[in-house]
């Protein structure tokens, strides 16, 4: 499976996916990593593994639609099977999503549909939630609201800050994202409406549902 990854920052989820590929757990390759931020550490991570890394500057384009048009052109040259959003902090245009419908996945630090958008961990704390977590989902035109592949649950503690809750969630992000990508690469994932089924996966487990197999 050929992957293109989009990032904006430190690239920790990207690194987890790359390690899964390097260790032979994920039958895939990442042919290109693109960032909208020049100083994104994820670009350096990609280069350290010999992966092509590109900074595409939004300021060079008049609006989001034009930027995403160029982004789609660059990505299309790689003919990807999957586009992975790994900490990509821009909202994709409807036109971009249409161009790669059903081929874009994202990870979000909440149990969607709860706490969509930015600072989901802070939202959970301020709301008084007793649990939060992370979700891998297919990307649709509804922000952080696409069909769910896998979720992980973590407790929210009375003394939590946005940073401490983020770190607790991140440990599971690094497990469920590569796991979901492996399932997709192995052809085990099917979508029927909003429902995503992973063939032969074990459902009904806590704290991760369906259960982790490889990570």
Three-class SS state of 185: helix
Per-residue CA distances from 212 to 2, 73, 139, 205, 208 (Å): 23, 35, 22, 9, 7
Q: Comparing C-alpha atoms, which of 194, 181, 154 is closest to residue 170?
A: 154
How many angstroms separate the CA atoms of 149 and 70, rounded? 29
Residue 119 annotated as catalytic = no
State the catalytic residue, choosing from 15, 108, 137, 174.
Answer: 108
Which distant-in-sequence residues (6+ apart) come within 8 Å of 148 by Cβ?
112, 135, 136, 137, 194, 196
4 contacts 84 by C-beta, under 8 angstroms? yes
How many angstroms separate the CA atoms of 83 and 5, rounded? 6
How many angstroms separate the CA atoms of 134 and 170, rounded? 8
The residues annotated as belonging to the active site are: 108
């Amino acid at each position: 499976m050929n992957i293109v990854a989009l990032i904006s920052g430190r690239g920790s989820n990207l690194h987890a996916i790359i390690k899964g590929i390097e260790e032979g757990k994920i039958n895939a390759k990442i042919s290109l990593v693109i960032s909208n931020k020049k100083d994104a550490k994820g670009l350096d991570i990609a280069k350290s593994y010999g992966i092509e890394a590109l900074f595409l500057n939004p300021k060079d384009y008049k609006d989001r639609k034009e930027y995403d048009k160029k982004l789609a052109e660059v990505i299309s040259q790689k003919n990807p099977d999957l586009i992975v959003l790994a900490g990509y902090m821009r909202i994709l245009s409807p036109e971009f999503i249409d161009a790669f419908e059903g081929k874009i996945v994202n990870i979000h630090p909440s149990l969607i549909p709860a706490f969509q958008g930015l600072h989901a961990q802070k939202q959970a704390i301020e709301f008084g939630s007793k649990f939060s977590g992370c979700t891998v989902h297919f990307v649709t035109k509804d922000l952080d609201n696409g069909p769910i592949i896998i979720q992980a649950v973590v407790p929210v503690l009375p003394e939590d800050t946005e940073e401490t809750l983020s770190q607790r969630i991140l440990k599971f992000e690094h497990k469920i994202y590569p796991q979901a990508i492996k399932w997709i690469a192995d052809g085990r994932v099917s979508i029927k409406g909003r429902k995503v089924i992973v063939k032969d996966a074990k459902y009904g487990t806590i704290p991760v549902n369906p259960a982790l197999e490889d990570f």
